[in-house]
Amino acid sequence: MTLRKLHGTSALIIAVYACVHIANHLVGLGGIEAHIAFMRAARLVYRFPGLEVLLLSAIAFQIYSGLTLVIRGWKQRQGFIPWLQAGAGAYLVFFFFIHVSAVLLGRTVLHLDTNFYFAAAGFHVPPFQFFFAPYYFLGVLGLFTHLGCALYWRLQARSRPARILAVALPSSVGFVVSLLIVLSLAGAFYPVQVPPEYKATYGWHP
Ligand code: HEM
């Protein structure tokens, strides 16, 4: 199997988790309690030791393989879709590395429950919102766009407009989903009172 095929296989594992994870954040549009209740139930599955090791190994492999593919194809890459795919992929390498390291550190070193408040804290301690808003927004948008580009290559036999739609549609959905999640974390839909222990990780004190 080539590295590219393995990258696609590992992406399937991550995509299954991403569906649950993004659904979790969308449930959060209905309130913090709903977000936390959904996560508590979903954790029974994705934190099951064997499955979590599989997921985290897939993420580690995706970072390695994604970076290798971006660098390896640098000189040959031509055209908008190949560069969009590589750009979104390169951002996902950065995002996965920071995001998963932060979650694991939060749990093991800071002994925090990495729930809604963990994700929202950065939005409520200035000036960290200027990092977290684009960081999360591009993470979700990058995922949808990157998957749309993968679909584009799978539809070689289809017309050009159908293939463009295969990228444009997921990217547009990703844009809206991303915006909604970021706005809910920032407190645009309901008041968000982040407990002090979460804000303290950003140097905040009462
Ligand atoms: C706005 C966007 C996002 C936010 C706010 C967010 C937030 C979180 C939070 C709070 C956790 C901890 C979950 C728990 O303790 O059970 C987490 C874990 C994780 N997230 Fe995200 N996430 C976002 C986007 C993504 C995306 C696009 C991916 C790509 C698949 C992703 C992958 C992961 C992974 C792999 C974990 C670790 C799961 C585990 O082993 O516990 N996240 N995220």
Task: Give the position, in ligand 1's atom list, of the atom nearest the Cα of 143.
Answer: 27
Per residue in 86-106, pLDDT (tens digit) is: 999 999 999 999 999 999 999
What per-residue confidence (pLDDT) applies to 139?
98
Task: Give the position, in ligand 1's atom list, of the atom nearest the Cα of 142.
Answer: 27
Chain-centroid distance, C-alpha 119 = 12
Per residue in 25-51, pLDDT (tens digit) is: 999 999 999 999 999 999 999 999 999
Cα(22) to centroid(ligand 1), Å: 8
Q: Is the CB of residue 113 below 6 angstroms from any atom belonging to ligand 1?
A: no
Q: Is the CB of residue 58 below 6 angstroms from any atom belonging to ligand 1?
A: no
Task: Give the position, in ligand 1's atom list, of the atom nearest the Cα of 140.
Answer: 27
Whether residue 1 is predicted with pLDDT greater than 80 in this model: the reply is no
Q: 94: closest CA among 128, 121, 134?
A: 134
Whether residue 180 is predicted with pLDDT greater than 80 in this model: the reply is yes
Cα(71) to centroid(ligand 1), Å: 26
What per-residue confidence (pLDDT) applies to 133?
98
What integer best gives the mean pLDDT of the chain?
Answer: 97
> Predicted confidence band at 205 (pLDDT cuts at 50, 70, 90)?
confident
**What are the E-state strand segments in 57-152?**
none
Structure tokens at 48: 């099951």
Task: Please give the Cα distance from 160 to 90 (Å, whole number).
Answer: 25
This prediction's pTM? 0.96
Whether residue 206 is predicted with pLDDT greater than 90 in this model: the reply is no
Q: Is the CB of residue 119 below 6 angstroms from any atom belonging to ligand 1?
A: yes
Cα(79) to centroid(ligand 1), Å: 32
DSSP code string of 113-157: --SHHHHHGGGGSTTTHHHHHHHHHHHHHHHHHHHHHHHHHHTTT
